[in-house]
Amino acid sequence: MKQTMKKLSVLVVMLMLLFTTGAFAQDYLNVPAKGRVTIIDLGAKKCIPCKMMAPILVRLTKAYKETADIVFIDVWENKEPVQRFKIKAIPTQIFFNESGEEVYRHVGFLDEKSIVEQMTRMGVQEPDLR
């Protein structure tokens, strides 16, 4: 029962991430968003570190909704972004400035504090995460 609940909660978080970030197959063509700081998290819904990042991304998507875009792209379902963004391992997070230029890239699990710090370095006001 406990295992089933844990799996269900992971599924709910992944679905929340999918629907709150709008990361559908066609949306990766429109990222990075011009005029807004954008984070793209390229991973897979079945990847363990990606699953660990899902609740963080959901939380930050809500916190930054007025100031930045956070997009999750499942590269196992959408192969094109792998070549476009030159992905060698997942998860990979790419941070783009308002001009659409890549300013930072990280491979592997990235915690909430590190994401917020990078966003702050890029000039995005730190959100209230209480």
Separation between Cα atoms, residue 51 and residue 55, nearest integer Å = 8
pLDDT at 29: 73
Q: Set out the domains of the chain in order of their start, with CATH numbers.
A: 2-121 (3.40.30.10)
If pLDDT is split at 50, 70 and 90, which confidence band does 129 have?
Answer: confident
If pLDDT is split at 50, 70 and 90, which confidence band does 103 have?
Answer: very high
Separation between Cα atoms, residue 6 and residue 78, nearest integer Å = 27
pLDDT at 21: 47
Report whether pLDDT(49) > 90. yes
CA-angle at 42, arms to 122 and 117, nearest 5°: 25
pLDDT at 25: 42
